[in-house]
A and B are shown apart, each in its own frame.
Chain A
């Protein structure tokens, strides 16, 4: 029982720090952590696809960006939208889009699946980047943030960066609980079976396409939650939120943290952001500004991590203690 107690204690400690953070941290850092929490939500949603259903989606950021754009397009120019209507709308938009795209892409498998998810995400990217639907390459701004009012009651103020932080934290916890429940349910078991051997599941009578589609939609909706929060946080939405660079970064977060675990990707998101900040803060060396070229180190790190840490950070333990195969696969 002791290791479990240790784990729970550690998790509680982390949770406690996260809860009291805004009380002693500066605005810049509270916002940074909030950004981190939002990315963690996104990473967890991708883990559902990659780690649990075995669907390597390279275009997952599209559902994140679409929710942001839905808010930006839905919100009137000069006064606030209502959180209680705009939030379901944005998440719903992501879910519907996931349904539509999933309908196409889940017909393919393996490498084709990876490529078509990328291509569809690019299509959406080009829709927002090249056309006038929403500000094009400049992105669009949400000048007045949504208001969370029902009648006279306003539970939180989205203009307050501390409230936004807690909202992100709340949703992270909520999404975690939701995913845990879903994955422990019979639905979750079928997904696991599909990941291991889809043909076998089909021969057992399961309509695997439908299960995969539902999973795809759930993941898309959760990504939409993250996208809405991201749009609210800085009040700006741009096509990069749908871009494949973001999709690739989120994939790395999932791998880093350890895919197929729920909190792993959240940890991966934190590590990723730390790495980014760390590399960006590198000093000058021999006339070259190393910090400016932080992506070089990120890229190098990705190459090394995929070569030597296929199980993510959590895999280090496995390699250090005993070089025996973990039963994950």
Chain B
């Protein structure tokens, strides 16, 4: 390399480096956020991808609760900050960091995917910011990683699985079951819940089939299931994957001879898309489309009027998040900085929800009834209570060391 060549490149390099430093310098000063009268709520939800409809429903439900509360919680208005988490666990910490450290929100609400939530709670635990989980059922959030500032208003993955397992365990003619699910935290915990509930009745799990998330190539495994001829199949999928599974299951003719069961996510929000393919599928969830509670009827009417859509369990969870936050903020007169009292208030109340009444467990997970539902038409019709006032997986709760 001649010296001239050397210095031309270096000259440009240094200029660029200088520009870089200057630019970075401009970005450095912390943006002072005026405290103002508004409470900052950071929504980290999937707005794209297979879980997008769920993210939208959750936000809709939350906003409905806000509207019904006169647009204010605890007398203060809400300012929203939104981040699309794309259901990508690898971007989880970056995304939540933006909300917590850069935008400095007062409350974080999110998310749907358990793997993403895993990243979120690690950051929010450390930061101490109030974090409300409107869906992700990962056991750690109210288990080994529980914390006073982490509150879940939805379910733990184990609960619906347990409900379904208990329901099946009572049926004498169901002696062996095949489970199939995505191999990720939510899928594994759901299957464990099912096993915990089902195996008590003396039946057996013939096989456990797994697929990587969010793979939807079911063909080989459906063939496997058919050849094994189990008495029932327990499947955990959600969103677009659930729709495809239901369709493929029917296409392979399995729906005629092998009953399909699952947690409610298998059939919630997808029945319009799958048409008749899901008829007769039984699921267990903390919600059904035709509960006879007055509160639920009011909610469904208001939701349909506002959004021109039928609500589902995700909308209810978003709504309940709003209800719980409202109650907590009311108790502290809107002062978010009084976190301990805020949380204490939330721990005490019984939420009068469209799903029925529920309250937070010691680990901050809902203690609620699990209903049995059956698909008729495009609805998940209520078929009785599978388990009443269900708490969480005992082995998980034992790991929560909170106050």
Within 8 Å by CB, do A and B touch in the complex?
yes
Report which A residues bind B (CB closer than 8 A): 3-4, 6-7, 10-11, 13-14, 17, 24-29, 31, 33, 129-130, 132, 135-139, 141, 143, 234-236, 238-241, 258, 261, 263-264, 267, 270-271, 274, 292, 313-314, 316-318, 321, 326-327
14 contacting pairs across A/B (C-beta < 8 A): A3-B6, A3-B11, A6-B11, A14-B17, A31-B97, A33-B24, A139-B89, A143-B122, A236-B119, A236-B122, A241-B90, A292-B84, A317-B8, A327-B1
A29 to chain B, nearest CB (A): 6
Partner of B11, one of A130, A258, A317: A317
Would A318 and B1 be within 8 Å (CB), given that A27-B101, A29-B27, A129-B212 are in contact?
no
Docked CA distance A271–B2 (Å): 26
Separation of A316 and B19 alpha carbons in the complex (Å): 15
User: Do B16 and A138 touch across chains, with their CB atoms under 8 A apart?
Assistant: no
CA distance A317 to B7 in the complex (A): 10
- Give A16's nearest chain B residue, CB to CB: B21
Q: Report whether A130 and B212 are in contact in the complex, using a CB–CB cutoff of 8 Å.
A: yes
From known contacts A24-B28, A28-B102, infer whether A316 and B12 are also in contact, taking CB-CB under 8 Å. yes
The answer for the CA separation of A7 and B122 in the assembled complex, in Å, is 43
Q: Which residues of chain B from 8 to 22 have a CB within 8 Å of any chain A CB?
A: 8-14, 16-18, 20-21
Which of B17, B30, B102, B118 has the most C-beta atoms of chain A within 10 angstroms of its own C-beta?
A: B17
Contact A7 B90 (CB under 8 A): no
**CB under 8 Å from chain A, chain B span 105-163:** 114-115, 118-119, 122
Q: Is B33 an interface residue (CB 8 A)?
A: no
Taking CB atoms, residues of chain B closer than 8 Å to A317 are: 8-9, 11-12
Given contacts A10-B18, A139-B118, A316-B12, could you give 20 more A-B pairs where the C-beta distance is less than 8 Å? A3-B11, A6-B10, A10-B10, A11-B14, A13-B18, A13-B21, A14-B21, A17-B21, A26-B30, A26-B101, A129-B212, A132-B183, A135-B185, A137-B212, A139-B115, A141-B118, A258-B9, A267-B20, A317-B11, A318-B9
Q: Are A321 and B27 in contact (CB under 8 A)?
A: no
Contact B7 A3 (CB under 8 A): yes
Chain A residue nearest to B29 in the complex (CB): A26
CB distance B90 to A327 under 8 Å?
no
Q: How many A-B residue pairs have CB under 8 A?
A: 122
Q: Which residues of A contact B7 (CB under 8 A)?
A: 3-4, 6-7
Whether the pair B17, A267 counts as a contact (CB closer than 8 A) is yes
Of the candidates A33, A129, A234, A292, the one having the most CB atoms from chain B within 10 angstroms of its own CB is: A234
User: Is there an interface contact between A25 and B28, defined as CB atoms closer than 8 Å?
Assistant: yes
Question: Does B93 have its Cβ within 8 Å of any Cβ on chain A?
Answer: yes
Q: Are A26 and B13 interface neighbours, CB within 8 A? A: no
Q: How far is the CA of A4 from the CA of B4 in the complex (A)?
A: 10
- B-side contacts of A258, CB under 8 Å: 9, 13
Contacts of B21 in A (CB 8 A): 13-14, 17
Q: Which residue of chain A lies nearest to B104 when distances are taken between CB atoms in the complex?
A: A28
B184 at interface by CB-CB < 8 Å? yes
- Closest approach, in angstroms, between the C-beta of A129 and any C-beta of chain B? 6
Given A7-B7, A7-B10, A26-B28, A274-B20 contact (CB < 8 Å): yes
CB closest chain-A residue, reference B27: A29
- What residues of chain A lie closer than 8 Å to B184, measured between beta carbons? 136-138
> B23 at the A/B interface (Cβ < 8 Å)?
yes
Contacting B13 at CB < 8 Å: which of A29, A141, A267? A267
Given contacts A13-B18, A137-B184, A234-B93, contact A28 B101 (CB under 8 A): yes
B80 contacts the other chain (Cβ, under 8 Å)? no
| Identity of the chain A residue whose Cβ is nearest the Cβ of B31 in the assembled complex | A26
